[in-house]
Amino acid sequence: MKLFLLKTKTLITAAIAALLIFILAHPDWLPISETARLHLGELEKNYFLIQKSGKLTFAHLITLLMAMCVVWLVYTIIKFILLSVGKKGLRAQTVTELLISTVRYLAVILAVVWGLSILGVNTTAVLAGVGIVGLVLGFGAQSLIEDIITGAFIIFEGQYNIGDIIVLDEFRGVVRNIGVRTTTIEDAGGNLKVVNNSDIRNFQNRSRKRSLAICDVDVAYDTDLPRMEQLIAAALPQMYEDHQDLYASVPEYYGIESLAESGMTLRFAIPVKEINVFRARRQFNRDIRILFSKYDVEIPFPQVDVHQR
């Protein structure tokens, strides 16, 4: 649904841009004087790509608006094509987001250079100056370059994709966006963490393999273990049948994990998708509590024995 709305918005944007270009390309439709129409037509005919001289006029501004619409339309069409291709899988969606981010930057740069040309600025000299300044500032922009290069390696090596669940510096969340410079991660509470690509190190990708939801449950020391283990063995397949939307397969009973102060700790493991780890754990705790209550298996709590002389 979200992708459909985004594509619809993109199509509407492209239609608006195409309409503006059509109107601006026909000066007769504009509410301006005949002299201005002639000036605009001559400007668009001879200087649409570059205007080297002449004072700033209303025709220049109209031509500038038309050029911006062209850039906007081309960007929108490319974005629509990429979105159509990117819906085929998480990997394709990840590469698509990176390409859209790159095209957006290029569109802005093209719009600025083209606009300056139409307004009569010598863009060759400007670009030469920017190149020199960029060389000077490049030493101070090493982190930016590192972010871009690291982002490219993340994409092409497939370290993670959009939709994967990763753990980074104890922050666990779903990758929502991978851009040229940053990666956006959303946790279970809807909080967004934006991290520079160069700062993403020593993370865990929890979506590549099936995960296990580990549950530890205590029972009293006077519990009849053979009887209880028979109850568990009979109940686990039914739990799986009841919750196949959460459990990937039948939960497993690992046995006694430890002998605690108040009782014996039993360990269970439920194979699940990573996105369902916490839901599956809560559901299993509820089911095991109902099972033990039904068959009078005591779940102990800390107690104090007081001896009076």
Q: How confident is the model at residue 57 (pLDDT cuts 50, 70, 90)?
A: low
CA–CA distance, 174 with 272 (Å, rounded to integer): 16
Residue 69 makes CB contacts below 8 A (sequence gap 6+) with 17, 20, 21, 24
Rounded CA-CA distance 114/111 in Å is: 5
Residue 181 vs residue 245, higher pLDDT: 245
Given a cut of 90, whether residue 235 has pLDDT beyond it is yes
Confidence of residue 83 (pLDDT cuts 50, 70, 90): confident
Q: Which three-class secondary structure state does DSSP give residue 258?
A: strand
Task: Give 199's DSSP letter.
Answer: G
For residue 59, count other CB atoms closer than 10 A to its CB: 23
**Average pLDDT of the chain?**
77
The span from the CA of 37 to the CA of 64, in Å, is 15
The model carries a pTM of: 0.54
- CB atoms under 10 Å from CB of 126, counted, come to 14
Hey, what domains does the chain have and what are their CATH numbers?
A: 2-136 (no CATH), 145-205 (2.30.30.60), 211-294 (3.30.70)
Q: Identify whether the C-beta of residue 37 lies closer than 8 Å to the C-beta of residue 18.
A: no
Side-by-side strand order, sheet with 165-168: 192-196, 182-186, 171-178, 165-168, 204-205
